[in-house]
Amino acid sequence: MKIGSGMKLEALVLGLILLFIAAFAYTASTGNHEWSGADSQAEGVISDLTGGSYTPWYQSIYEPPSGEIESLLFALQAAVGSLIIGYFLGYYRALAKAKAVSAAPEKDGKQDA
Amino acid sequence: MHIMEGFLPHPWWEIWFALSLPVVAYGVHRINRMIKDNRETLPLLAVAGAFVFVLSSLKLPSVTGSCSHPTGTGMGSIIFGPWITSVLAVIVLVYQAVFLAHGGLTTLGANVFSMGIAGPMVGYLVYRAAMRSGLHLFLAVFLAATLADWATYLVTALQLALAFPAASGGAYASFEAFAAVFAITQVPLAAVEGAVTALMFKYIVELRSDVLVRMNVVSAKAVAVLKEAAA
């Protein structure tokens, strides 16, 4: 079953992603940015607001020992997610195809009769 | 939107736990009931959870010169509603808190509330309202996922503002300071998340519109309109 008018949505999404990349390229070319995480920038705001007096009362139970290991764990997270999505979409697609194939001979049979 | 480990003082971390726990417990109950009644929803639940895994792992650069990440919860909230989506968010947030030192166990309640409850609640309501007003299905999904993402970060700014009110101007002044970090950075990311979610949703409707119709996510009429447009 096909839905939507062809690949229109795909084209729109691709366009938006290209726009996103262009915005990144433009921002990167207009100054020195740290590209640090917004989550950690919030820490800076907390320290501004409290005059640096706030100390976290609990530490992470585990921290990735290096940036490389951190990216490994992030990549693992994305890989597991993609695997599950791909598996089920592929399963559904094959299922739909198998149903279509098994339905087709019946039709032919009726035409012959 | 991860509030770092130990960064919410007493009584705020307890408050957000108290607000999130009943929702997540109810979400678990809803998942059990849904799977018992209708096993064919299980693969879709896995896909929605996996979508949160993928999107929340991508730290993307934004126009503000800093990086942030999408949440991926819009998809789950559209298909399963905010209760069940809160459970999906807990899984990802626990993984990131334990293995990645992103977010934390003490701030888990607050992070589940922003990413797993408030954002999805907004996404769900936007989707329902957009469908009632007769918007195109994919536009409705785009709007719902975009606003769910954005709302998540505004709620994080609010949570931090409440915990750290400014000496002059109080919580409102600190909300402005935290929102300045999160809100603008998140706009382009939220839009990309909305677009990718709409595309993902298109593929799910293509393959299992029957399940979505039975779950009352889309109407049979809306699916017929889409099929006609393709023919």
Provide mean pLDDT across the span B53-57.
Answer: 96
Does residue B11 have a cis bond before it (omega within 30 degrees)? yes
Instruction: Answer yes or no: is B6 within a domain.
Output: no
Percentage above 90 pLDDT, chain B: 96
Q: Does A3 touch chain B (CB under 8 A)?
A: yes
Shortest distance between the Cα of A48 and any Cα of chain B, in A, equals 9
Instruction: Answer yes or no: is A37 within a domain.
Output: no
Q: Cβ B66–A34 below 8 Å, yes or no?
A: yes
Q: Does B228 touch chain A (CB under 8 A)?
A: no
Instruction: Answer yes or no: is A10 within a domain.
Output: yes
Instruction: Answer yes or no: is B199 within a domain.
Output: yes
Q: Cβ A6–B98 below 8 Å, yes or no?
A: no
Nearest to B120 by CA among B178, B184, B216, B49: B49
B130: domain CATH number?
1.10.1760.20
Low-confidence ranges of chain A (pLDDT < 70): 1-5, 105-113
Residues 184-223 of B with CB under 8 A from A: 185-186, 188, 191-192, 195-196, 198-200, 202-209, 223
pLDDT at residue number A106: 60
pLDDT at residue number B228: 85
Nearest to B59 by CA among A36, A25, A23: A36
pLDDT at residue number A4: 53
Q: What is the pLDDT of residues A15-25, one digit of tens each?
A: 999 999 999 99
Domain residues for A22?
A: 1-30
Nearest to B83 by CA among B23, B169, B134, B43: B23
Provide mean pLDDT across the span B214-231.
Answer: 89
Q: Does A60 touch chain B (CB under 8 A)?
A: yes
Closest-CA residue in chain B for A22? Answer: B63
Q: Cβ B181–A17 below 8 Å, yes or no?
A: no
Specify the 3-state DSSP secondary structure of B60.
strand
Report CA B13 to chain centroid distance, whole Å. Answer: 20
Instruction: Answer yes or no: is A59 within a domain.
Output: no
Residue of B4, B193, B211 to mutate, interface with A, max A Cβ within 10 Å = B4
Domain residues for B44?
A: 12-230
Count of domains forming chain A:
2
Count of domains forming chain B:
1
